[in-house]
Structure 1
């Protein structure tokens, strides 16, 4: 296989064709593990510390002991990018419960599996950032935080995938998920924001969402710009009647939503606040982060 990526796997850097995980790994058998999607721009890993802190927090929540320190994990991220000679792209960092038996018990998994992939990434088409995207509301409800907390970025993404299937069948790029009370939560892979009368609103963590790192960055940038922003519960009614709507995520960055369930949002194209925040985010991301090649 030509032009193979170099993958970090349990202490070694191997060709992707040689990067193999056991069929008895509980990450595969039961979705027992955690992961992070991380961007790097201009030779810098964006929000490196925050991503590492979040995967350690998620691992703690599921009583998974990561077999390395945070500093060692940072070096893995950097070295994986270096070995693939990449300056811009996407990292997938995964920690599973490791190899066990066919039973459910994690006590039969003596050693977690850790692997790291660094590659390029395909974003939404450029024109979509101007025209915005149509989305639908999924019938699939977001996991309740009292059952499987969405703050844990676990390998079991079936809840999100079922909603994504609904989006695909409807010909939409994304699906909006509500919680069990009908409150807007998030999309299958992105957090959601709405703008009304110059004020930004985004759902609070407790409604059942991932505490997105891009979400937090956008909130900080909005505050620096003097734009009012609040974490507040809202329903589909508020989304349909918003002046602007946009999604944030590691891959998407910040992208406008211009139609929801057939309702046109605002003017039907990316709004001024969305465009302003996207520009500010991209400038910030390209100039901040953990250096890869220094």
Structure 2
């Protein structure tokens, strides 16, 4: 099922957007994409805290109580299936000019069914020449300005793969177009650090926090491209896809160590919060 909530109410049909809406005209806004399990936004507080911090940094009005009410309204009575919740916050309408002060911010929520078979699937990557700029706000914050990621994703699709490896302007590994990247090297769980032009993903943070319980040492640091071929395994994390082993880079196979303990840890963390293991695809049978 699909639902839309816009600026105060559930709505059906096309949205009427004001002609001065800065999110549409300038990409002046933020978003979060959240997996919903058992009518519960998975790690929702972490997503909403990230949204609030970014809104504060950019000077965009943010009402946490209002967001919580909107989320409760859009999730009320939905089937107990996998869903994806997209939350979009913009500066709202304003006069022309980049520095123009807007009025009230706009809040848009969209809820859609999500196919759980898209989770945990192995993925091949291609390299892209598009670079992440560690000094750029659009790399560090989840803004609506996604054109670099879009271009890199289209380039990857033209090579017959699903995602692209993105380096930063210093030539170090940053991320992919939609995911954080990890390397498993012995007992070390390695991922690019926050200063490398990455978005600090919610699933990334969850996995890092659980590393010690798995006997792994988390390392957030500079990662050189050559290390990908030297690792025991390379994988991606994403709020919807969870953990995805990387099978190849630029058509060259990558090592494939067992990642089942990491998958189990993430899925157990999700079950503890939402009451369901996200790998269970029949949770809708329990009720509506």
Query: TM-score, normalising length from structure 1?
Result: 0.87
Q: Distance in 1 between matches of 2:41 and 2:124?
A: 31
Contact 2:81-2:113 at 8 Å conserved across structures: no
Structure 2 unmatched ranges of 5 or more: 277-286
CA 124–31 in structure 1, closer or farther in 2 if over 3 Å, else same: farther
User: Deviation at 1:154?
Assistant: 0.4
Instruction: Identify which of 179, 187, 196 aligns with 1:207.
Output: 196
**Structure 2 equivalent of residue 113 of structure 1:** 106
Contact 2:235-2:246 at 8 Å conserved across structures: yes
Instruction: Identify which of 171, 174, 187 aligns with 1:198.
Output: 187
Instruction: Identify which of 62, 66, 72 aligns with 1:72.
Output: 66
User: Deviation at 1:196?
Assistant: 1.5
Query: Secondary structure of 2:183's partner?
Result: strand
Query: Secondary structure of 1:239's partner?
Result: helix
Q: Distance in 2 between matches of 1:96 and 1:146?
A: 22
User: Deviation at 1:18?
Assistant: 4.1
User: Deviation at 1:24?
Assistant: 2.5
CA 88–125 in structure 1, closer or farther in 2 if over 3 Å, else same: closer
Structure 1 unmatched ranges of 5 or more: none
Q: Comparing 225-234 with 26-35, which one deviates more in the overlay?
A: 225-234
Instruction: Identify which of 126, 129, 141 aligns with 1:136.
Output: 126
Q: Comparing 183-192 with 221-230, which one deviates more in the overlay?
A: 221-230
**Structure 2 equivalent of residue 8 of structure 1:** 5
Q: Comparing 243-252 with 192-201, which one deviates more in the overlay?
A: 192-201
**Structure 2 equivalent of residue 171 of structure 1:** 160
User: Deviation at 1:195?
Assistant: 1.0
Query: Secondary structure of 2:59's partner?
Result: coil
Which digits, 9 at most, give the CA deviation of each residue in 1:236-273, with x for residues without a partner? 10012211000001111001001112221114xxx31x
User: Deviation at 1:73?
Assistant: 1.4
**Structure 1 equivalent of residue 208 of structure 2:** 219
Q: Distance in 1 between matches of 2:173 and 2:117?
A: 23
Which digits, 9 at most, give the CA deviation of each residue in 1:167-196, with x for residues without a partner? 111111110100011000011010000111
**Structure 1 equivalent of residue 265 of structure 2:** 280
Query: Secondary structure of 1:136's partner?
Result: strand
Alpha carbon RMSD of aligned pairs, Å? Answer: 2.2
Contact 1:39-1:45 at 8 Å conserved across structures: yes
Which digits, 9 at most, give the CA deviation of each residue in 1:105-132, with x for residues without a partner? 331x212111111111235646x73xx2
Query: TM-score, normalising length from structure 2?
Result: 0.89
Moved over 6 A (4+): none
Alignment of 1:44 with 2:40, yes or no, is yes
Query: Secondary structure of 1:259's partner?
Result: strand
Contact 1:178-1:185 at 8 Å conserved across structures: yes
User: Deviation at 1:104?
Assistant: 2.7
CA 290–7 in structure 1, closer or farther in 2 if over 3 Å, else same: farther
Q: Distance in 2 between matches of 1:29 and 1:119?
A: 25
Which digits, 9 at most, give the CA deviation of each residue in 1:71-92, with x for residues without a partner? 3312211221115445421110
Q: Distance in 2 between matches of 1:22 and 1:85?
A: 33
Query: Secondary structure of 2:76's partner?
Result: helix
